[in-house]
Amino acid sequence: MHSSDRDRVVLAALVFAVLFSQVLLYPGVATLVAALGADATSSAFAATPLDASMWFLVSEFAAYVTFVGVWGVVSDATGRRTPFIVGSALAGAGGYAALAVVPTVGSISFGGVLLLRVVQGAMTIGAFSLTMTMLMDLEGGHGRNMGAAGIAIGLGAALGAPIGGQLTEVNPIAPLLVAAGLLVCVGLVVSFVEDRTPDERRSARALVDGIRRRPTLSIPFAFGFVDRLTAGFFALVGTLYFQEVFGLDAGTTGLMLACFFAPFALLQYPMGALSDRIGRTIPIVVGSLCYGGGILLVGAAPSVATAAIAMVGVGVLGALVAPATMALVTDLADESERGLAMAGFNLAGSLGFLGGFLLGGTVASTYGYGLAFLVVGGLEIAIAVVTVPVFLRLSLEPTDQVRSSDRGEA
């Protein structure tokens, strides 16, 4: 096996581990926050189980938004990825472990729990984003590399949801302990992967200016934002929707989420390779239109069985969109700016997750689940329609011409 192929497998496994550790907490999030001291009488963030769950998830992604760019700039400026992944993974493991001991301490308020969650998120995003950047640095086709990242993300979510639900049934704290152990493994294993960061060193200002000179990066960033918004919506609102409307327990809810994440994961690599052959336009634009329609079908499903079938369809369409969108980031970014470009994509994605939690949670609690599904599915359709003219011009050009036109427009 060629070293790049071997490293692609290892790096994809590490991306899987980080995402898996994150998703473990989702199916039983309401039970977990209760175990961590969420109480309406003592915290304004815990007025209801939905509110407490929302703020627990939001605090992590707020940290993602704040710190993902820092990790990208530092990595590109120093020309190193590995030491920052090791440090962030081990520190993230410490954050999960600190959360796990909160119930035994007993004197930490829910506000303090949210602060720990912020620290854990600030560290974890470094391991996640920079490991994906190491995949960008590999040879072999951007679609293939991002397909490997996508299948890792999808498998992490597909397996994390049902396993997290089962762990929660055993003990609400168990997902935190498993997550901590996985991040320790990430910090140890990444040391054995060759660091292929480009040799060019640039200042933080030069890196940021370089990204600004590529306005077309806003296209994959925008799609990444809305795609992750739908994921955040399903992680929070979808979980509670299935439990409240269909009466599912945490374990069965995890299986329902897996109906989306299993096809989403398994089809990432072939869909990424497909986008290398046919271009990014059809997978992203057409896929997003159909993906939004699928979300509307999930919200309209009258039974568990039909909702599960709709979730499978949404998963297939998500697999069509995701690797092509990430590959487009690699197409457009200069190789010396990949860390910051992927950080920008993950920043947009983290903002999307936040939007999914906040927008979905607010609309669902105020107006009901039906309108929440309509709003989120409609946004996915709208972003595809609005960007069609620019996207068609962009994606029909060879990559080198796209970059040249980017510089000319700057």
∠ CA 113-101-238, rounded to 5°: 55
Judge whether 40 lies within some domain: yes
Query: Do 346 and 68 touch, CB atoms closer than 8 A?
Result: yes
pLDDT tens per residue, range 157-183:
778 878 998 999 899 999 999 999 999
Judge whether 233 lies within some domain: yes
- Let me know how long the chain is: 410
pLDDT for 206 equals: 54
User: How confident is residue 213, by pLDDT bands cut at 50, 70 and 90?
Assistant: low
Phi, psi of 41 (to 5 degrees): -80, -15
| Burial bucket for residue 268 (CB in 10 Å: 0-12, 13-18, 19+) | buried
Q: Residue 2 is encoded by which pair of tokens? A: 């060629």
With 70 as the cut, is the pLDDT of residue 404 above it?
no
- The residues, any chain, with a CB within 8 Å of residue 151's CB and separated by 6 or more, are 12, 265, 266, 268, 269
pLDDT for 408 equals: 44
Query: Do 371 and 363 touch, CB atoms closer than 8 A?
Result: yes
Q: How many CA atoms lie within 13 A of 402 on its CB side?
A: 24
CATH number of the domain bearing residue 372: 1.20.1250.20
Domain that holds residue 15: 3-405
Query: Do 408 and 402 touch, CB atoms closer than 8 A?
Result: no
With 90 as the cut, is the pLDDT of residue 278 above it?
no
Query: Do 109 and 154 touch, CB atoms closer than 8 A?
Result: no
How far apart (Å, rounded) are the C-alpha atoms in residues 344 and 352? 12
Q: Where do the DSSP E strands lie in 280-324?
A: none
Query: Do 62 and 118 touch, CB atoms closer than 8 A?
Result: yes
How far apart (Å, rounded) are the C-alpha atoms in residues 258 and 23? 11
Phi, psi of 39 (to 5 degrees): -145, 125
Q: Residue 174 is encoded by which pair of tokens? A: 């168990």
The single residue listed with the structure tokens 């039974």 is 303
Mean pLDDT across the stretch 4-23?
90
pLDDT tens per residue, range 65-119:
889 888 888 888 888 899 999 999 999 999 999 999 999 887 788 889 999 999 9
**Taking the model in full, what pTM does it have?**
0.73
Q: How far is CA 233 from CA 9, 187, 219, 237, 238, in A?
A: 30, 30, 21, 5, 6
How far apart (Å, rounded) are the C-alpha atoms in residues 259 and 228? 17
Query: Do 27 and 257 touch, CB atoms closer than 8 A?
Result: yes
pLDDT for 117 equals: 95
User: How confident is residue 397, by pLDDT bands cut at 50, 70 and 90?
Assistant: very low
How far apart (Å, rounded) are the C-alpha atoms in residues 81 and 76? 8
Least-confidence region, from 85-89, 211-215, 286-290:
211-215
- The tally of domains found in the chain comes to 1
| Burial bucket for residue 351 (CB in 10 Å: 0-12, 13-18, 19+) | buried
- The residues, any chain, with a CB within 8 Å of residue 354's CB and separated by 6 or more, are 58, 61, 62, 65, 232
Least-confidence region, from 132-136, 327-331, 364-368, 387-391:
387-391
Judge whether 410 lies within some domain: no
pLDDT for 157 equals: 73
Mean of per-residue pLDDT scores for the chain: 83
pLDDT for 140 equals: 66
With 70 as the cut, is the pLDDT of residue 371 above it?
yes
Phi, psi of 391 (to 5 degrees): -65, -40
